[in-house]
């Protein structure tokens, strides 16, 4: 028995560590194939611009055709000399990449995340099999320095904050709260920085798909999964909203006394998950964050919730998971129908999860009506799968039943997060993924979305009417208000889109206030039954003022931000869906009615002596509560009178989404009516 | 194909195991006083030497040993390393587990007995052979070796009624399944005139679609299905998992299941991964007959029934038993894809499954040792009484559900991706069934989570688990959460492990002629 120790040991160790390559390169040399060798794998440029040369050599045994040399999408400011040539065995050719900085956009190089792509006849690289006859095997060279740490920091600082909170010694509950507050302040500060530095003029036409603050690296090369974060006009408002609502919610959590460490650890993990969803530009990354956010939410409702917390927690979890598994299937199906490209490392990739590539390059091929899945048209079935996943989150009728349960049982701060941010993930997902990846199917489904949106508005309002529990009333008002977003985006008009995203942001701030106010009264009365209250304004005047302000904002009083979103939605939708918009607009009346009626029952009339003998249980709002309410109130007031800052922020990004949707499939939605 | 003598040097891992088994038994006998610690040390030494021997003799080549009875190829090496890891983890856990110790009133003899470890190693040997068998006879023998040792280990708590019941049920089901499988194999022998899988495959070309071939393969499936606990051959599973000592249950849920899949892949595949059509299996046995449809139906039934039955269980081990039935269904999906992607997904999923499933069982074991019952009601409030074990349990359950960022998600991702990549209505439908099943499974996993975290504890007294268990659980939790960090090297290693040696009919005939 001879064992050749050294070589075998090395081999075994290498195999165990997975260091051995696929071994294909060795086999290639002796076959009659061309082989493309590129002399560099990365290109670096100074901020001031410059040129770099890349040499392409045929190291194979037969002539190599270079079909095309181009810059990948997402390489704004970069240009490459064209090359279309057949290289004989051993022959080389050079291409020059030039970077010209845009004087209007200093620092734009940092936003470039594309690279150099070479299409050749080297069969070892992936080929777009669907363009029959055309051989286009693709490989690439990376562009270096496309890193902005801003979004990564906003996402992962809460995550590390979670670890920090866990490390706080047992029993130091106050310290835990302060640590959590300090951690939550960081993303808020960064969000302000983001708001100040976000370039409002950037559009898809200015390159890089309108993305800013990009960070881009390869995560799992085997499946072409990338770590890719960035913001555009669509996501930037949501990122800011997440940071803001999370910070406010930490303040609203100050009263937590049970398992404080666990609570704030879960809370910060939730913030990381939400932030990740809004900044992800890779589909799998998006999905991972989407799911990561479920775990803490389950525990936050289940441990710190009300009497029926177990039921509410599992209902929330099951509903959302059922929706997201459909999203997972659609995600994989879409991946396998995407076209070959290069990863950010320059490595060739047969398919890609890059959401912007899927949107702007592959959307057309998904729309191919010959493409089927389970016998249905591919785009439509994928659209429905994705839409159900997002609709559950919105929540859209008939998938809304988890929401009132979750809200009623969840602690105040978690209701704030749930209504303030989580619901927006549904509408954001539809705009980003359904609208982006499957624009033709979106046009096909536009009318249905508008109908469902209207049902949401009216059904939510009627349900809110019937509620005896104040928190349930606010929960149903969320169902109703999210319906406006659906109607607005289904209109495929600029005004409608702006209205939908405005409504998303405004609902986030207004509903946060509402839930904090519900929490305030619950802390004092330990009940939320509307009929038990009365004359509260005499006992808690400041509270009543905030309450009135928030309710007025919620019912859409002109001058407060709730009005802006609604009016834009109606203006945008009316030219497209007349009858539906008229129906939806009647919702405003019912909304006003149930808001005013609830307010009247709680704050006006006589103090309910039969139930509340001791008025000392009802001190007015504390400083802490005021501090959580004032920032939201200020934003509501400001955006109510002067919505321009928000419209400027989101405008260009939304125009791009709209242009993309209308460019595909033509006049679909308009022709329906 | 190597002859008997030349084969020996590639058979060293198995030889080491055999020597270890004999050493434990003989030393126990000679030393007079049996010692559990000594057997444990010997076992770990044996397993360590086995692992080193496997790593040293592993060279990426594929060879047939002993005239084509078994194969030594990267595929087998992968499973050998996997089995060694499982054996080590279960062996370590069993050292402290009161469940693996037989108490006898007034006497302490059995308590120190080394039998448990000798049996554990024999089981490992059986699985080694199962993963390498390329001959029906060898497949049957190794499967029987694994089965018989499993019967004994399931009934290890001789005075425990449930344990004895488990062993008896296991024997009866196992006996029937083996008998049926043997009948199927004899039919295959009748068709091919040889028990060598290569010759059988060749013969299958000429008899494709005939009633005899289909009957034979269906009968064989009974045996394999029984080993991996696939519906409708899963009935033994809940009773055995509940009754058997927990370390044994943990072992059975991972080891023999993985071995069963190794055998299934060898039986249905033809090992030509990266052949003329890269990534496509063109096994005659697979493609010329309705096996994809049949396996698909079995997979769908296994996932659905396993998950639905798990919902109504009140005993944690029983629930985990049904959950492992469901996971056999997910794994079968990879086989339905019938190509390299599917096999890669199966192997990857087995690795993630090892960590998450073993982790869950280790928590049950550690808590049982600390005096906690095995009903879900007993777990009420332990999230606050036993913080660490409960956290490990939560991680493993989330991973079993398939939630990112845990390893189980990436495992499932590869499985479903393999199905959707190949496409076709049947595979897409299977992926849909599988993914909806993942959502269903959350419901019963969440019952444990709910008991642990949402419900009031019966007492506030903290539960202390043995440090050894804590380390073991910690490893599983790190594996489940951290596998994603080393995912790329893992995928590379597993893709290289797909290379299988396949007996060619002509070569077999030549050997026989000599």
* Whether the predicted pLDDT of A571 surpasses 90: yes
Arithmetic mean of pLDDT, B177-184: 93
What's the Cα-to-Cα distance from A375 to each of A248, A363, B300, rounded to whole Å? 49, 20, 20
Arithmetic mean of pLDDT, A325-334: 92
Measure the CA–CA gap between A431 and A505, rounded to whole angstroms: 14
Contact A323, A388 (CB under 8 A): yes
pLDDT band at A7 (very low <50, low <70, confident <90, very high): very low
The per-residue pLDDT for B276 is 37
A353 touching chain B per CB within 8 A: no
Q: What is the pLDDT of residues B116-173, one digit of tens each?
A: 888 999 999 999 999 999 889 999 999 999 999 999 988 888 778 888 888 999 999 9
* Whether the predicted pLDDT of A21 surpasses 60: no
The interface predicted TM-score of the complex, written ipTM, equals: 0.90
- Chain B residues in contact with A314 by the CB 8 A cut-off are 443, 446, 450
Helix then strand then coil, % of chain A, to nearest 5: 60, 10, 25
Measure the CA–CA gap between B164 and B162, rounded to whole angstroms: 5
Arithmetic mean of pLDDT, A235-243: 94
Helix then strand then coil, % of chain B, to nearest 5: 75, 5, 20
The per-residue pLDDT for B195 is 86
The per-residue pLDDT for A129 is 61
The per-residue pLDDT for B36 is 77
* Whether the predicted pLDDT of A123 surpasses 60: yes
pLDDT band at A365 (very low <50, low <70, confident <90, very high): confident
- The three-state secondary structure class of B371 is coil
Question: DSSP character for B68?
Answer: G
Q: Name which of A167, A325, A351, A389 to mutate to probe chain B: the one with the most chain B Cβ atoms within 10 A of its Cβ.
A: A325
Q: What is the pLDDT of residues A411-441, one digit of tens each?
A: 999 999 999 999 999 999 999 999 999 998 9
Strands (E), A370-444: 372-373, 376-377
* Whether the predicted pLDDT of B488 surpasses 60: yes
Chain A residue closest to B418 (CA)?
Answer: A332
Q: Name which of A123, A294, A310 to mutate to probe chain B: the one with the most chain B Cβ atoms within 10 A of its Cβ.
A: A310
The per-residue pLDDT for B13 is 92
A307 touching chain B per CB within 8 A: no
The neighbour count for residue A188, using CB atoms within 10 Å, is: 20
Q: Name which of B454, B462, B484 to mutate to probe chain A: the one with the most chain A Cβ atoms within 10 A of its Cβ.
A: B454
The per-residue pLDDT for A53 is 85
The per-residue pLDDT for B100 is 58
* Whether the predicted pLDDT of A13 surpasses 50: no
User: Which tokens in the block code for residue A509?
Assistant: 């701030």
Measure the CA–CA gap between A181 and A249, rounded to whole angstroms: 10
Per cent of chain A over pLDDT 70 is 91
Q: What is the pLDDT of residues A497-513, one digit of tens each?
A: 999 999 999 999 999 99
**A18–B490: do the CB atoms touch at under 8 Å?**
yes
| Nearest CA distance, B206 vs chain A (angstrom) | 33
The per-residue pLDDT for A122 is 82
The per-residue pLDDT for B221 is 87
Residue A139: beta bridge partners? A118
User: Which tokens in the block code for residue A255?
Assistant: 């009263």
Measure the CA–CA gap between A559 and A637, rounded to whole angstroms: 7
The per-residue pLDDT for B346 is 94
A16 touching chain B per CB within 8 A: yes
Chain A residue closest to B9 (CA)?
Answer: A1
Arithmetic mean of pLDDT, A349-363: 89
| Nearest CA distance, A143 vs chain B (angstrom) | 23
A11 touching chain B per CB within 8 A: yes
Measure the CA–CA gap between A173 and A125, rounded to whole angstroms: 57
Q: Let me know if B205 is exposed, middle or buried by CB neighbors in 10 A (0-12, 13-18, 19+).
A: exposed
- Chain A residues in contact with B446 by the CB 8 A cut-off are 298, 314, 317-318
Computed on alpha carbons and rounded to an integer, the radius of gyration of chain B in Å comes to: 22
The per-residue pLDDT for A244 is 94
| Nearest CA distance, A129 vs chain B (angstrom) | 14
Arithmetic mean of pLDDT, A654-668: 77
Contact B59, B77 (CB under 8 A): no
Question: DSSP character for B111?
Answer: G
A26 touching chain B per CB within 8 A: no
The per-residue pLDDT for A111 is 67
The per-residue pLDDT for A191 is 94
| Nearest CA distance, B127 vs chain A (angstrom) | 21
A20 touching chain B per CB within 8 A: yes
A–B: how many Cβ contacts below 8 A?
128
Arithmetic mean of pLDDT, A49-65: 84
Which range, A33-47, A167-181, A473-487, has the best average confidence (pLDDT)? A473-487
Top pLDDT among B211 and B87 is at B87
**B453–A22: do the CB atoms touch at under 8 Å?**
no
* Whether the predicted pLDDT of B33 surpasses 80: no
Q: Name which of A295, A307, A312, A319 to mutate to probe chain B: the one with the most chain B Cβ atoms within 10 A of its Cβ.
A: A295
Residue A434, C-beta contacts closer than 8 angstroms, at least 6 positions apart? A383, A386, A387, A390, A441, A442
* Whether the predicted pLDDT of A370 surpasses 60: yes
Order the strands of the A36-38 sheet from edge to edge: A36-38, A50-58, A92-99, A78-80
The per-residue pLDDT for B400 is 94
The per-residue pLDDT for A264 is 93
Contact B124, B49 (CB under 8 A): no
Question: DSSP character for A144?
Answer: P
The neighbour count for residue A617, using CB atoms within 10 Å, is: 12
Across the interface, of A9, A291, A313, the residue whose CB is closest to B56 is: A9
What does DSSP say about strands A42-43 and A137-143: parallel, antiparallel, or unpaired?
Answer: parallel
Contact A425, A242 (CB under 8 A): no
Contact B74, B220 (CB under 8 A): no
- Chain A residues in contact with B13 by the CB 8 A cut-off are none
Chain B residue closest to A324 (CA)?
Answer: B439
Residues of chain A numbered 189-248 and touching chain B (CB < 8 Å) = 220-223
Across the interface, of B58, B404, B446, the residue whose CB is closest to A288 is: B404
- The three-state secondary structure class of B350 is helix
The per-residue pLDDT for A372 is 82
Arithmetic mean of pLDDT, A20-33: 48
Give ∠ CA A653-A656-A661 in degrees, rounded to 5. 130
pLDDT band at A18 (very low <50, low <70, confident <90, very high): very low
A24 touching chain B per CB within 8 A: no
Measure the CA–CA gap between B294 and B284, rounded to whole angstroms: 16
The per-residue pLDDT for A332 is 93
Chain B residue closest to A333 (CA)?
Answer: B420
Q: What is the pLDDT of residues A382-408, one digit of tens each?
A: 999 999 999 999 999 889 999 999 998
- Chain A residues in contact with B423 by the CB 8 A cut-off are 336
A428 touching chain B per CB within 8 A: no
What's the Cα-to-Cα distance from B225 to each of A583, B219, B332, rounded to whole Å? 59, 10, 10
- Chain A residues in contact with B401 by the CB 8 A cut-off are 321
| Nearest CA distance, A479 vs chain B (angstrom) | 24
The distance from CA B27 to its chain's CA centroid, rounded to whole angstroms, is 30
Q: Name which of A332, A381, A382, A399 to mutate to probe chain B: the one with the most chain B Cβ atoms within 10 A of its Cβ.
A: A332
Q: What is the pLDDT of residues B328-337, one digit of tens each?
A: 999 999 888 8
* Whether the predicted pLDDT of A635 surpasses 80: yes
Chain B residue closest to A225 (CA)?
Answer: B488
The per-residue pLDDT for A19 is 37
| Nearest CA distance, B362 vs chain A (angstrom) | 22
Measure the CA–CA gap between B447 and B452, rounded to whole angstroms: 9
């Amino acid at each position: 028995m001879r064992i050749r120790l050294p070589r075998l040991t090395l081999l075994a160790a290498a195999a165990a560590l997975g260091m051995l390559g696929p071994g294909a390169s060795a086999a290639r040399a002796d076959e009659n194939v061309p082989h493309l060798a590129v002399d560099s794998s990365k290109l670096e440029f100074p901020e001031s611009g410059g040129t770099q040369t890349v040499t392409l050599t045929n190291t194979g045994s037969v002539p190599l055709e270079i079909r095309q040399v181009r810059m990948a999408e997402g390489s704004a400011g970069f240009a490459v000399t064209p090359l279309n040539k057949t290289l004989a065995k051993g022959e080389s050719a050079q291409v020059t990449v030039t970077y010209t900085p845009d004087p209007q956009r200093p620092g734009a190089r940092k936003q470039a995340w594309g690279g150099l792509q070479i299409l050749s006849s080297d069969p070892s690289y992936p080929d777009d099999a669907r363009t029959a006859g055309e051989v286009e095997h693709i490989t690439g060279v990376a562009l270096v320095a496309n890193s902005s740490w801003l979004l990564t920091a906003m996402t992962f600082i809460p995550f590390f904050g979670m670890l920090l909170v866990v490390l706080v010694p047992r029993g130091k509950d106050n310290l835990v709260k302060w640590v959590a507050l300090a951690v939550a302040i960081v993303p808020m500060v960064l969000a302000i920085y983001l708001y100040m530095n976000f370039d409002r003029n950037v559009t898809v036409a200015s390159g890089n798909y309108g993305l800013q603050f990009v960070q881009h690296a390869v995560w799992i090369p085997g499946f072409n999964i990338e770590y890719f974060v960035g913001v555009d006009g669509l996501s930037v408002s949501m990122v800011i909203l997440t940071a803001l609502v999370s910070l406010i919610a930490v303040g609203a959590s100050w009263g937590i006394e049970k398992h404080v460490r666990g609570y704030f650890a879960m809370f910060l993990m939730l913030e990381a998950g939400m932030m990740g969803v809004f900044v992800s530009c890779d589909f799998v990354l998006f999905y991972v964050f989407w799911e990561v956010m479920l775990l803490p939410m389950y525990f936050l409702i289940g441990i710190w919730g009300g009497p029926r917390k177990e039921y509410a927690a599992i209902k929330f979890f099951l509903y959302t998971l059922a929706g997201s598994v459909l999203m997972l299937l659609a995600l994989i199906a879409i991946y396998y129908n995407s076209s070959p490209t290069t990863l950010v490392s320059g490595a060739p990739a047969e398919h890609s999860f890059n959401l912007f590539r899927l949107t702007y390059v592959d959307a057309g091929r998904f729309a191919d009506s010959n493409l089927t899945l389970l016998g249905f048209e591919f785009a439509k079935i994928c659209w429905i799968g994705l839409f159900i996943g997002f609709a559950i989150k919105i929540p859209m009728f008939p998938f809304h039943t988890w929401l009132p349960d979750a809200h009623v049982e969840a602690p105040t701060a978690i209701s704030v997060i749930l209504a303030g941010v989580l619901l927006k993930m549904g509408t954001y997902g539809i705009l980003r993924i359904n609208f982006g990846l499957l624009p033709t199917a979106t046009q096909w489904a536009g009318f249905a979305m508008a109908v469902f949106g209207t049902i949401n508005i009216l059904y939510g309002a009627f349900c809110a009417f019937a509620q005896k529990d104040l928190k349930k009333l606010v929960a149903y008002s969320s169902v109703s208000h999210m319906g406006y977003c659906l109607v607005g985006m289904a209109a495929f008009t600029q005004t409608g889109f702006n209205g939908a995203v405005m409504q998303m942001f405004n609902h986030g701030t207004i509903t946060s206030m509402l839930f904090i106010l519900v929490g305030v009264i619950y802390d004092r009365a330990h009940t939320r039954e509307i009929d038990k209250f009365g004359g509260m304004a005499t006992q808690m005047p400041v509270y009543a003022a905030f309450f009135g302000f928030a309710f007025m904002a919620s019912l859409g009083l002109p001058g407060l931000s709730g009005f802006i979103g609604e009016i834009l939605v109606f203006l945008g939708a009316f030219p497209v869906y007349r009858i539906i918009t008229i129906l939806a607009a009647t919702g405003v009346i019912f909304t006003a009615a149930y808001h005013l009626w609830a307010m009247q029952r709680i704050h006006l009339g006589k103090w309910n002596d039969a139930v509340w003998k001791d008025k000392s249980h009802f001190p007015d709002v504390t400083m802490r509560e005021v501090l959580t309410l004032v920032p939201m109130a200020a934003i509501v007031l400001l955006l109510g009178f002067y919505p321009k800052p928000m419209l400027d922020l989101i405008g260009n990004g939304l125009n791009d989404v709209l242009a993309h949707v209308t460019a595909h499939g033509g006049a679909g939605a308009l022709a329906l009516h | 194909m190597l002859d008997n003598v030349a084969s020996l040097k590639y058979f060293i891992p198995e030889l080491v195991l055999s020597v270890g088994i004999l050493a434990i038994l003989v030393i126990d006998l000679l030393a007079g006083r049996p010692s559990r610690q000594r057997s444990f040390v010997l076992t770990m030494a044996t397993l360590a030497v086995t692992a080193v021997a496997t790593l040293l003799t592993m060279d990426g080549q594929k060879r047939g040993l002993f005239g084509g009875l078994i194969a030594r190829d990267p595929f087998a090496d992968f499973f050998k390393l996997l089995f060694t890891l499982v054996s080590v983890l279960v062996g370590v856990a069993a050292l402290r587990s009161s469940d693996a110790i037989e108490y006898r009133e007034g006497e302490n003899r059995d308590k120190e007995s080394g039998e448990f470890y000798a049996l554990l190693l024999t089981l490992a040997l059986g699985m080694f052979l199962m993963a390498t068998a390329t001959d029906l006879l060898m497949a049957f023998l190794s499967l029987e070796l694994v089965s018989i040792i499993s019967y004994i280990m399931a009934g290890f708590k001789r005075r425990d009624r449930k344990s004895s019941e488990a062993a008896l049920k296991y024997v009866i089901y196992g006996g029937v399944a083996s008998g049926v499988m043997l009948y199927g194999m004899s039919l295959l022998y009748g068709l091919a005139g040889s028990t060598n899988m290569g010759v059988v495959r060749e013969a299958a070309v000429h008899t494709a679609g005939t009633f005899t071939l289909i009957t034979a393969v269906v009968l064989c499936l009974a045996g394999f299905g029984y080993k991996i606990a696939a519906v409708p051959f899963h009935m033994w599973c809940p009773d055995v998992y509940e009754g058997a000592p927990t370390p044994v249950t943990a072992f059975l849920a991972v080891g023999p299941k993985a071995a069963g899949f190794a055998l299934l892949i060898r039986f249905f595949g033809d090992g030509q991964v990266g052949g003329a059509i890269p990534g496509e299996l063109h096994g005659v046995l697979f493609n010329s007959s309705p096996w994809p449809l049949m396996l698909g139906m079995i997979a769908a039934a296994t996932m659905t029934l396993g998950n639905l039955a798990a919902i109504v269980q009140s005993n944690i081990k029983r629930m985990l038993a049904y959950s492992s039935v469901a996971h056999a269904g997910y794994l079968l999906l990879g086989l339905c894809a019938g190509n390299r992607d599917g096999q890669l997904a199966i192997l990857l999923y087995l690795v993630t499954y090892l960590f998450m499933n073993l982790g869950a069982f280790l928590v049950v074991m550690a808590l049982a040792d600390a005096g906690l019952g095995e009903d879900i009601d007993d777990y009420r409030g332990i999230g606050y009484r036993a913080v660490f074990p409960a956290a490990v349990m939560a991680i493993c359950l989330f991973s079993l559900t398939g939630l990112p960022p845990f390893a189980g998600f990436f495992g499932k991702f590869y499985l479903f991706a393999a199905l959707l990549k190949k496409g076709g209505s049947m595979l897409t439908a299977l992926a849909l069934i599988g993914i909806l099943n993942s959502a269903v499974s959350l419901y019963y996993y969440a019952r444990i989570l709910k008991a642990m975290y949402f419900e009031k504890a019966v007492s506030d007294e903290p539960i202390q688990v043995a440090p050894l268990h804590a380390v073991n659980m910690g490893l599983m939790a790190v594996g489940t959460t951290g596998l994603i960090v080393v995912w790329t090297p893992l995928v590379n290693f597993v893709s290289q492990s797909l290379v299988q040696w396949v007996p060619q009919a002509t070569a077999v005939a030549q050997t026989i002629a000599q």
